[in-house]
């Protein structure tokens, strides 16, 4: 665990909307790092909300969004990316002036642009994307260390600097390293580092013939692990970042074609160079990660509300 501490956060009550993997991991991280305020879990009645209460991730469960919003100083929206804009507007309508709202979605432009205007006076939205997660879903898989030594991207659009600083402090208190980006820059980058890799893993898994399933081992399973992510959640992410994802898929197709061409021509030198470049690029990417965390690879999506 990092030395970060949540005890000094400037929030008395934090509402977490969507008590799945991400939402409950946020709650667990706050509790483990000494947050002294109140945590309200908000969502639909069901197993996730019950687990959040039973495991004492949250202090109270609420299915009435307006009631939860009106009691919160900070609201973290952990719902599917295609619902976040609507959900933020609903919550903002019941929130008090001074309330800060953020999200955990892995698409930012489609969320931040419409929410840069039209919220009630005194209610501020600043986008977030904690680049952490798992192909596993639900509150039962929550971890207080999920954000430890992970990047969280914050995408202020037009918010006051004071609100942005409060949000940065929040994510840092959970162990994350915060990076500020423009929403469109975030989406272009995440298409390459998260969204296209999911497409590739899914396409590879879809190609597997039923008669060969028993022959898969570590290589296939490691490469396709993230294809186990929730299909509805990922469809929303890919459609929400469609232009950048399509560009990324085309770039990948060119790279794949180069490999196929080298093999077809029997060009060992070209093939070795392509494989060497890939090896060096992957190792450099691992070295560039905060804390060089290599044992907790995860899907970088938000979590579907339950």
Q: How far is CA 112 from CA 89, 94, 164, 203, 296, in A?
A: 12, 20, 14, 30, 29
| φ, ψ for residue 38, nearest 5 deg | -105, 140
Instruction: Please determine whether the domains at 13-181 and 186-292 fall in the same fold group of CATH.
Output: no
Residue 304 confidence class, pLDDT cut points 50, 70, 90: very low
CB 146 within 8 Å of CB 25? yes
Which ranges constitute the DSSP H helices of 191-241? 196-206, 218-224, 231-240
R_g of the chain, CA atoms, integer Å: 20
Rounded-to-integer distance, Cα 57 and Cα 297, Å: 23
pLDDT at 305 over 50: no
Q: What is the pLDDT of residue 294?
A: 41
Per-residue pLDDT tens over the stretch 106-135: 999 999 999 999 999 999 999 999 999 777
Within 10 angstroms of residue 291's Cβ, the number of other Cβ atoms is 11
Q: What is the pLDDT of residue 291?
A: 65
Per-residue pLDDT tens over the stretch 44-95: 888 889 999 999 999 999 999 999 999 999 999 999 999 999 999 999 999 9
SS3 state at 299: coil
CB 61 within 8 Å of CB 36? no
Q: How far is CA 262 from CA 53, 223, 258, 265, 278, in A?
A: 56, 22, 6, 5, 15
For β-strands 100-103 and 124-125, DSSP reports them as parallel
Q: Number of C-alpha atoms within 13 angstroms, CB side, residue 66?
A: 2
- In CATH, the architecture of 186-292 is Orthogonal Bundle (1.10)
Q: How many degrees, rounded to 5, is the angle at CA 156 between CA 171 and CA 243?
A: 105
Per-residue pLDDT tens over the stretch 167-193: 999 999 999 999 999 999 999 999 999
The class that CATH gives domain 13-181 is alpha beta
SS3 state at 146: coil
Per-residue pLDDT tens over the stretch 203-237: 999 999 999 999 999 999 999 999 998 999 999 99
pLDDT at 295 over 50: no
DSSP per residue over 27-39, as a string? HHHHHHTT--SEE
CB 104 within 8 Å of CB 303? yes
Q: How many degrees, rounded to 5, is the angle at CA 11 between CA 8 and CA 12?
A: 105
Domain ranges of the chain: 13-181, 186-292
Structure tokens belonging to residue 173: 């208190």
CB 34 within 8 Å of CB 6? yes
Structure tokens belonging to residue 145: 């260390």
Report which secondary-structure segment, H or E, holds 177: strand 177-180
Structure tokens belonging to residue 72: 């919160």
Q: What is the pLDDT of residue 158?
A: 79
Mean pLDDT of the chain: 92
Which ranges constitute the DSSP H helices of 113-191? 161-173, 183-190
Q: Looking at the whole model, is its pTM more than 0.75?
A: yes
Rounded-to-integer distance, Cα 205 and Cα 227, Å: 7
Q: What is the pLDDT of residue 300?
A: 54
Within 10 angstroms of residue 81's Cβ, the number of other Cβ atoms is 26
DSSP designation for 12? S
Q: Is the dihedral of CA 252, 199, 204, 289 positive or negative?
A: positive
Rounded-to-integer distance, Cα 291 and Cα 288, Å: 9
């Amino acid at each position: 665990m990092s030395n970060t501490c949540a005890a000094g956060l400037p929030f008395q009550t934090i509402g977490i909307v969507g008590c799945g993997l991400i939402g409950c991991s946020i709650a667990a991280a706050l509790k483990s790092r000494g947050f002294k305020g109140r945590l309200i879990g908000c969502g639909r009645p069901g197993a996730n909300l019950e687990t959040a209460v039973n495991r004492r991730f949250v202090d109270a469960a609420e299915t009435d969004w307006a009631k939860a919003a009106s009691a919160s100083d900070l609201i973290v929206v952990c719902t599917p990316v295609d619902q976040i804009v609507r959900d933020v507007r609903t919550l903002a309508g019941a929130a008090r002036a001074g309330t800060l709202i953020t999200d955990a979605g892995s698409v930012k432009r489609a969320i931040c642009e419409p929410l840069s205007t039209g919220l009630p006076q005194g209610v501020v939205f600043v986008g977030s994307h904690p680049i952490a997660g798992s192909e596993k879903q639900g509150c039962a898989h929550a971890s207080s260390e999920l954000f430890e030594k992970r990047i969280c991207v914050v995408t202020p659009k037009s918010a006051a600097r004071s609100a942005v600083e409060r949000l940065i402090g929040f994510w840092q208190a959970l162990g994350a390293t915060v990076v500020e980006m423009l929403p469109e820059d975030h989406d272009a980058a995440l298409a390459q580092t998260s969204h296209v890799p999911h497409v590739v893993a899914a396409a590879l898994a879809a190609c597997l013939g039923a008669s060969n399933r028993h022959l898969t081992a570590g290589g296939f399973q490691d490469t396709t692990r993230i294809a186990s992510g929730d299909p509805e959640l990922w469809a929303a992410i890919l459609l929400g970042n469609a232009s950048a994802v399509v560009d990324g898929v085309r770039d990948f197709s060119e790279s794949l074609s180069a490999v196929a061409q080298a093999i077809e021509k029997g060009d060992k030198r070209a093939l070795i160079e392509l494989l060497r470049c890939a090896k060096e690029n992957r190792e450099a990417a691992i070295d560039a990660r905060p804390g060089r965390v290599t044992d907790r690879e995860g899907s970088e999506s938000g979590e579907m509300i339950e």
